[in-house]
Amino acid sequence: METDNVSAVLVHGAWADGSSWSKVIERLKEHGIRAVAAPLPLTSLQEDVAALDRTLERIDGPVVLAGHAYAGAVISSTRAENVEALVYVAALAPDEGETVGDVFYRGEAHPQAPKLAPDRHGLIWLPEEAFADAFAPQAAPHELAVLGAVQRPISVSCIGEPVGRPLWKDRPSWFLIAGQDRMISSDTQHFMAQRMNARVHSYPADHTPIVTSPDTVTKVIVEAARSIPAR
């Protein structure tokens, strides 16, 4: 179908903000798809889902909902009726009763994955060197500088809350597996995508393909948008 009436809502993960989707937003516009980046407080999974729902309330017409990394759990937890398709980008997709931590720590950590621990405020920051080592090693130096400068911490509450029935059990889903991910192992991504019965695309990308492989991410979102039946 044509994508003229389909919107894409793009959800950032931990240590990022909506600007991490900027390259994808530009490319979606070329395909006639309006994109909106949903801001998350990263204070708890429940509060992040509420923030996403506020963004979805503003959108008329069908929505392709895309989440990067931690945001996979957030997009799985909305029940918004205008969401017609889900796209997971190197994302975490807990099943009912699981937490983000359960799936994040499921596999063996990459040797260059950062050691993460909360500060005295219960916030987890990404060490500066981890942006180049694990978060986006394929990014250009100027991109790494921006990613590090705008990083936003994630609360430990976000990764410890069990999810309810995930939306991927009730909506078609796509999964872009990042084959060179040093934050979330590709084996874990394959495991989640398989049990979701997602349409899988694999690409030799790092953990942040929305920055380093935006054409690939855009292609998957456009495919999802075109699958939505005309009304």
- What residue segments make up the domains of the chain, in order of their start? 7-226
Comparison of pLDDT for 23 and 110, the residue scoring more: 23
pLDDT at 44 over 60: yes
Q: What angle do CA 8, 13, 19 make, to 5 degrees?
A: 65
Structure tokens of 22? 């900027």
Amino acid 107: pLDDT: 80
pLDDT in tens, 169-186: 999 999 999 999 999 999
Confidence of residue 230 (pLDDT cuts 50, 70, 90): confident
Mean pLDDT value across residues 202-231: 95
Mean of the per-residue pLDDT values for the chain?
96
* Start-to-end Cα distance in the chain: 10
Q: What is the pLDDT of residue 231?
A: 63
63, pLDDT greater than 70 = yes
pLDDT digits (tens, 9 = 90+) for 66-83: 999 999 999 999 999 999
- The answer to whether the CB of 91 falls within 8 A of the CB of 188 is no
What is the predicted pLDDT for the residue at 2?
56
Please give the Cα distance from 224 to 187 (Å, whole number): 23
Structure tokens at 8: 């894409």
User: Considering only CA atoms, which of 13, 44, 52 is closest in space to residue 155?
Assistant: 44
Q: How far is CA 41 from CA 12, 57, 63, 77, 144, in A?
A: 10, 17, 21, 15, 22
Looking at residue 100, its amino acid is V
The answer, yes or no, to whether residue 136 has pLDDT greater than 70, is yes
- CA geometry: angle 178, 51, 82, nearest 5 deg: 75
> pLDDT value at position 229?
86
Handedness of CA 48, 53, 54, 59 (dihedral sign): positive
Q: What are the residue ranges of helices labelled H in 31-171?
A: 45-57, 71-77, 100-104, 130, 141-150, 156-160
pLDDT of residue 145: 96
pLDDT of 200 above 90? yes
Q: Which CATH superfamily is domain 7-226 in?
A: Alpha/Beta hydrolase fold, catalytic domain (3.40.50.1820)
Identify the three-state secondary structure at position 201.
Answer: strand
Task: Give the pLDDT confidence score for residue 159 in this predicted structure.
Answer: 95
| Distance from C-alpha of 134 to C-alpha of 112, rounded to nearest angstrom | 6
- Tens of pLDDT, residue by residue over 14-30, are 999 999 999 999 999 99
Confidence tier at 3 by pLDDT (50, 70, 90): low
Residue where the block lists tokens 């690939």: 216
Least confident range from 41-45, 102-106, 194-198: namely: 102-106
Q: Is the pLDDT of residue 7 over 60?
A: yes
